[in-house]
Amino acid sequence: MPTAIRRIRRAGLRVGLQGDWCMYLMAAGIGLLMGVVATLFLAPLRSLEQIEDATSGTIIWMLVLLAPAIGGLLVGIARLGINAPYIGPGVTTVIYGVLRQRGKLRLRVGVQKWICSTLTIGSGGSAGAEGPIVTIGSVLGSTIGRMLGTNTQQTTTLLGCGAAAGIAAVFNAPIAGVLFVMEILLRDFSLRTFTPIVIAAVVASASIQGILHDEAIFQLGSDFLTMEGTFQMAYMPAYILLGLLCGLVGVAFIRGLDISSHYLGRMPVPIWTRPAIGGLLLAILGLAFMLVMGPKYPFFYGNGYPEITRLLSPGTYVSDLDTTSIGLLMLGLLALLLLKLVGTCITLGSGGAGGMFAPSLMMGAIVGGMLGLSLEWVGLLEHGTPARFALVGMAAMVASVTHAPLTGILIVYELTRHYQIILPLMLAAVIATIVARWLCRDSIYSARLREAGVRLGGLGELTILARLTIQDLILEPPRTISWRDSAAALVEQAEQRGAGDFVVLDDKGDYRGMVTNQDLKAALVFREAIPLLQVSELLRSDLPIIGEDETLDVVLEKFSRANVDALPVLAGSGERKVAGLVTRGRLMKRYQAALDHADD
């Protein structure tokens, strides 16, 4: 056991602390620290938002046209100066670290993400703050774990503690933070992992409430929480339609980001200049917006939380508008949706730093608001308001983009803590996830990971093998030999058939044992003794045997115990007839194929 951990544990034992208390204390410390870190991270972003809102006249034209490019240039310079591994936008780098680097993330990854995301979002880049804070928290947890000398499992758990604490601090949503880590990052719901992550998320949420005294990024309008009416079952068909729409828009977002990353990320220019070029393209969109709307700061710039707050306010949607006014409002919302989608793809695809939750939430709110406004206008939404559909659309869009419905549901639910929204949230989020998975096998995170050769699989990879049996494999025909044959005959057959593993049968044709390829090679070292040996002296009768109904997780465990390349499969219950051989190679190919389709 590492020295630091051993000393801490000894100190705890002196005062009567037992078990995993050390991990719980570290989790609480990470949660408390992340409350402070999140405050420091969010403070400049909030200040820049206030400056942008107060800007007018000539300055706003300069801000809209120059700030994204200047911010992108600074991002490129920062990336050049702080050389850190980069797999993709959002939390893709963290997932890669969990799966391929045993939870060990370098400190420079968090430092680079902090600086670059502040520059990107603060200069108007269309991205969110939640992805960076998750990365910063993950790096913090991983670094603390490595400093204390924790093992791989403990380091990964502490990484998850930092990530959950980051989400809990940003959204004031500890439950969503926990589910985000379990569902997307670690894909591990074991109690040993769950408990410290819960502690970290709760402590972080409580810490930032004590510091900021409000929801960390944005708040719902008071008129939303006090409006009359409930989410009624009669509106369920409308929520199903909302889920379908969000699923389609989510797929467009995933595809759009993939296309922009492909083209903008491969421009024949120095890498450090690409974010600046993305900033120039974003400025062109901002210019088009201002030519139509006048000298207003573009709504699709930045994280978009002020606009989400407006979309969730019932006062934004006026029910007594005439047809022309409603048509213009719908057209404006559609244009904002397209601008946010394209602006985010440009920002992140060109190398800008930031998260994808905020853009997803804004696009979901727009889609929900448009649908709610349409239904209310034609009289199908008698007691509802578009603001309610905007809220449900946020959850559906997050679920669609991330393929993680639980995270989308709980993030939005914890914003209101009104239980009556649960059914619509669940229905729309699940429908959106189904549509997105049907049309696009990869989430917005796994698309980049697949390019890096990483397959996520299901929530628990061993459960995939537990659902498959030997009957799902193509068995290899057995090469048989009698136990009474000479070793010379065995060597002759091996030379004729290209060597391999042989099944040894008794006089009745029943299974008696195997002569493996390794055994045969060992015997050939003393080739002069071959004429004196019988097959019965070479066979191994202690190898595990496999039944036709056994699941592949059991088969994998038997391979690990036997350390051979092939094992016999016996036909029927209680029979000793050999149906075929299962090899390590075929087992792993079937496992890989199951992983490829685990999220379909």
535-558: pLDDT as tens digits: 787 888 888 888 877 777 778 878
Write down the CATH number for the domain with range 464-596: 3.10.580.10
Mean pLDDT of 122-133: 86
* Residue 405 in this model has a pLDDT that exceeds 50: yes
pLDDT at 429: 94
Lowest mean pLDDT among 135-139, 430-434, 585-589: 585-589
Specify the higher pLDDT residue, 419 or 322.
Answer: 419
For the cut 50, the answer to whether the pLDDT of residue 16 exceeds it is no
| SS3 per residue for 3-63 | HHHHHHHHHHHHCCCCCCHHHHHHHHHHHHHHHHHHHHHHHHHHHHHHHHHHCCCHHHHHH
pLDDT digits (tens, 9 = 90+) for 33-43: 988 888 888 88
- Position 427 confidence tier, pLDDT thresholds 50, 70, 90: very high
> In the prediction, which pLDDT does 229 show?
47
- Residue of 151 and 299 predicted with greater confidence: 299
In terms of pLDDT, which residue wins out, 86 or 221? 86
Structure tokens at 40: 């420091």
Question: With bands split at pLDDT 50, 70 and 90, how would you rate the model's confidence at 17?
Answer: very low
| pLDDT tens digits, 150-176 | 777 788 888 989 999 888 888 878 888
Task: Let me know: does 396 contact 431? Beta carbons within 8 Å.
Answer: yes
Segment 433-440 shows an average pLDDT of 92
pLDDT of residue 242: 94
- 3: pLDDT strictly greater than 60: no
Side-chain-facing half-sphere of 551: CA atoms under 13 Å: 9
Q: What is the mean pLDDT of residues 372-390?
A: 77
pLDDT at 383: 53
- Work out the pLDDT band at 8, boundaries 50, 70, 90: low
CATH number for the domain running over 3-54+85-122+130-212: 1.10.3080.10
Contact 425, 413 (CB under 8 A): yes
- Please tell me the predicted confidence (pLDDT) of residue 211: 67
- Residue by residue, DSSP assigns 288-346 as HHHHHH-S---TTSTT-HHHHHHHT-GGGS-TT--HHHHHHHHHHHHHHHHHHHHHHHH
Mean pLDDT for the chain overall: 80
What pLDDT is stored for residue 1 in this prediction?
A: 45
Q: What digits encode the pLDDT tens for the residues 343-355? A: 999 999 888 888 8
Cβ atoms of 32 and 204 closer than 8 Å = yes
The winner for highest mean pLDDT among 274-283, 466-475, 550-559 is 274-283
Position 246 scores a pLDDT of 96
Distance CA 305, CA 28 (A): 29
What burial class does residue 84 get, using C-beta atoms within 10 Å of its C-beta: 0-12 exposed, 13-18 middle, 19+ buried? Answer: middle
pLDDT for residue 5 is more than 60: no
Cα–Cα distance, 301 to 340 (Å, whole number): 8
SS3 546: strand
pLDDT band, very low/low/confident/very high, at 338 (cuts 50, 70, 90): very high
pLDDT score recorded for residue 599 = 47
2 vs 539 pLDDT, higher one: 539
Quote the pLDDT of residue 220: 59
pLDDT, tens only, 441-456: 888 887 777 776 666 6
Count Cβ atoms within 10 A of the Cβ of residue 206 and give its class: 0-12 exposed, 13-18 middle, 19 or more buried. Answer: middle
pLDDT, position 600:
47
Residue 90 has a pLDDT of 67
Mean pLDDT across 488-505: 78
pTM across the whole model: 0.77
| Domain boundary assignment for the chain | 3-54+85-122+130-212, 222-452, 464-596
Q: Which of 357, 333, 331, 332 is CA-nearest to residue 344?
A: 357
**In this prediction, what percent of the chain has a pLDDT beyond 70?**
83
| DSSP letter, residue 551 | B
Confidence of residue 430 (pLDDT cuts 50, 70, 90): very high
Band the pLDDT of 482: cuts 50, 70, 90: confident
- Above 60 in pLDDT, residue 256? yes
Q: Tell me how far apart the alpha carbons of residues 422 and 418 are, in angstroms, rounded to a whole number.
A: 8
Whether the per-residue pLDDT at 375 is higher than 80: the answer is yes
3-state secondary structure of 142: helix
How confident is the model at residue 457, as a pLDDT? 53
pLDDT at 434: 94
For the domain covering 222-452, report its CATH number: 1.10.3080.10
Topology alike, domains 3-54+85-122+130-212 and 464-596: no
Question: Average pLDDT for residues 575-581, to the nearest whole number?
Answer: 81
Q: What pLDDT is stored for residue 168 in this prediction?
A: 87
